Amino acid sequence: MLQFDFDDSRIDYLAEALDATPKQVKMATNRAVRRTAGTLRRMASTGIKTELGLRNVTALRRRIKEYRVGKGGNALKLWFGTNDLPISAFPGRKKQVPGGVQVGDIMIHGGFVAKIRGKVGVYTRHGRGRWAISEATVPVADRIMIYLEDNVFVDIDSIFWKHFENEIHAYTILKVGK
């Protein structure tokens, strides 16, 4: 779990420079944290889609969740599901080759192409029974975590400060929370 703390003295300096009330500072901080989480979620979903070469971001949107932490409302937790993705999330033609199935650049050893319940997919056996099969999956956890650490979380401070400055300016100009 990654945790980020922001400099309170910078918040106090901006509040004093703009003559903001404590209520306006709290409101601006809460909104800036929510907007930062949304920006990180958006950056992560589009970047991971490109990094993994997925067909669309539908499989990823279900795997990125945002939770509030604590009573203050100024702390959020982003959860990224890194379970294996089904092969159907990746683009490419399913081609039976010796030793398995080739889908785009991905090779599924021991896999086979079958039409089950009207859906053509790539499946693997996990038992001796007739229906002991499941859709083939691709491990993606390492690639997702490396991408997040290298590309998404490096700019969290600048993203938060940009949002906070915009919000505190708006609250003081419009006199919200006075």
Do 33 and 160 contact (CB within 8 A), yes or no? yes
Range scoring the smallest mean pLDDT among 33-37, 74-78, 92-96: 74-78
pLDDT band at 106 (very low <50, low <70, confident <90, very high): very high
Which contacts (CB < 8 Å, 24+ apart) does range 103-112 have? 104/53, 105/53, 106/138, 108/136, 111/87, 111/136
Average pLDDT over residues 57-67: 88
Q: What is d(CA 136, CA 108) in angstroms, rounded to the nearest whole number?
A: 7
Give the global pTM: 0.84
Whether pLDDT at 1 is above 60: no
Whether pLDDT at 2 is above 70: no
Q: What is d(CA 170, CA 80) in angstroms, rounded to the nearest whole number?
A: 32
pLDDT band at 47 (very low <50, low <70, confident <90, very high): very high
H/E stretch holding 135: strand 133-135
Do 103 and 54 contact (CB within 8 A), yes or no? no
Whether pLDDT at 53 is above 90: yes
Three-state secondary-structure class, residue 113:
strand
**Model pLDDT, residue 3:** 65
Q: What is d(CA 108, CA 97) in angstroms, rounded to the nearest whole number?
A: 10
Residue (of 154, 144, 153, 156) closest to 80 by Cα position: 144
Average pLDDT over residues 18-46: 91
**Model pLDDT, residue 76:** 83
